[in-house]
Amino acid sequence: MSTTFTLGILETGRPPEALEEEYGSYPQLFADMLCIEAPEWDFRAYRVNEGEFPFTLDECDAWLVTGSKHGVYDELDWIEELKEFLEEAYEEGIPLVGICFGHQVLAEALGGSAVKSRRGWGLGVQSYEVTEDGKALFPEATEFSLNTFHQDQVVEIPESAKVLAKSEFCPYAALSYGDRALSFQGHPEFDRAFTKALVENRRGEVLTDELADAALSTLDEKTDNDQLAQIIVKFIEDRAGTSGTGGDETESPSA
C-alpha cells in the first residue's frame, strides 16, 4: 500500500521529438511506470539539463535522475551542479534513484567514475545476474532483464557502493549506497514499443544497421519492469518515512 510522497524527477535529457510527442517525456514515462505501484504519489519534474533545479534539497521527499544523451564527462555547468546537488542530498539522507545517465552521474557524485566504454553499445533487452548483495532486493530472483540503450558505463564504484547486479558486458549494472541511494544502468521505464521506436530513430545516426537489427531481435524477450517499479517504490517509501516533506503544491511531470 503506497503512501503519499512527492517524487522529484530530475530530467537530464529528452527523447527525440517524434517519440516525445507519441510517448511523453522521460519524467512522464517514470510517472506512468511508478503510479501503478504508487497511485497516491505526486510527481514533480525539473529540467535540470536546462538549468531548472529545485530551490531546496527537501523540496521533494525523494529524487530520481533520468537518462540523457549526454555523458557525465561532458563539460556542462548543469552536470557539475547536478553532481553537487546529489552529493548534498545523499549527505542529508534524502532517498536517491538513478537510471542510466542517472546511475552514472550518481556514481560520479559519490566518488566513482563513468566513461564511454570500450565494450561498445548495450542495446535491447539485457539480462543481469543478481549478486549476493542484491538478494536483499531480489530475494526470489537470480537475474532480471531490462531494455537498455547506453554506451557509457560505470567503471569504478564509490567506496559506499555495493554491486547488486552484473553481467559480463556491464559489471556494475545496479548499485546501492547503504539505505540512501539505488541505481540501475538499464531502463525500467522503457517498454518494448518505446525501445523499438528509439532504436529505429537512431538507426543511421549513432547506430549502424547491424547494431539496430541486433537490438531489435531481442525485444520479444521478457523484461522485469514491473518488478523494478515495485523495488523503487518500496525503496523510497521505506526510507522517506510516512509523513512526506515535499510541500503542498502538486505538479505533474512536464510533457
Euclidean distance between CA atoms 198 and 132, whole angstroms: 34
Identify the pLDDT of residue 254. 40
Would you name the residues annotated as active-site residues? 100, 187, 189
Q: Which residues of the chain have pLDDT under 70?
A: 1-3, 241-255
Q: What is the pLDDT of residues 115-132, one digit of tens each?
A: 999 999 999 999 999 999
Identify the pLDDT of residue 248. 38
β-bridge pairing 143-150 and 152-156: unpaired
Angle 64-67-70 from CA coordinates, rounded to 5°: 130
Identify the pLDDT of residue 229. 97
Identify the pLDDT of residue 247. 40
Q: Which domains does the chain have, with CATH numbers?
A: 6-119+153-192+224-240 (3.40.50.880)
Task: Provide the grid cell at 117.
Answer: 566504454
β-bridge pairing 62-65 and 6-10: parallel
Identify the pLDDT of residue 253. 54
Q: 107 — phi, psi (to 5°)?
A: -60, -45
Identify the pLDDT of residue 255. 32
Burial zone of 19 (CB within 10 Å; 0-12 exposed, 13-18 middle, 19+ buried)? middle
Please provide the size of the chain in residues: 255
Cβ pair 219, 124 in contact under 8 A = yes
Cβ pair 11, 49 in contact under 8 A = yes
Cβ pair 57, 96 in contact under 8 A = no
β-bridge pairing 42-46 and 162-166: unpaired
Identify the pLDDT of residue 3. 57
- pTM for this entry: 0.92
Identify the pLDDT of residue 190. 98
Query: Residues near 132 by Cβ (< 8 Å), separated by ≥ 6?
Result: none
Q: What is the pLDDT of residues 130-178, one digit of tens each?
A: 999 999 999 989 999 999 999 999 999 999 999 999 999 999 999 999 9
Identify the pLDDT of residue 140. 87
Angle 30-85-7 from CA coordinates, rounded to 5°: 30
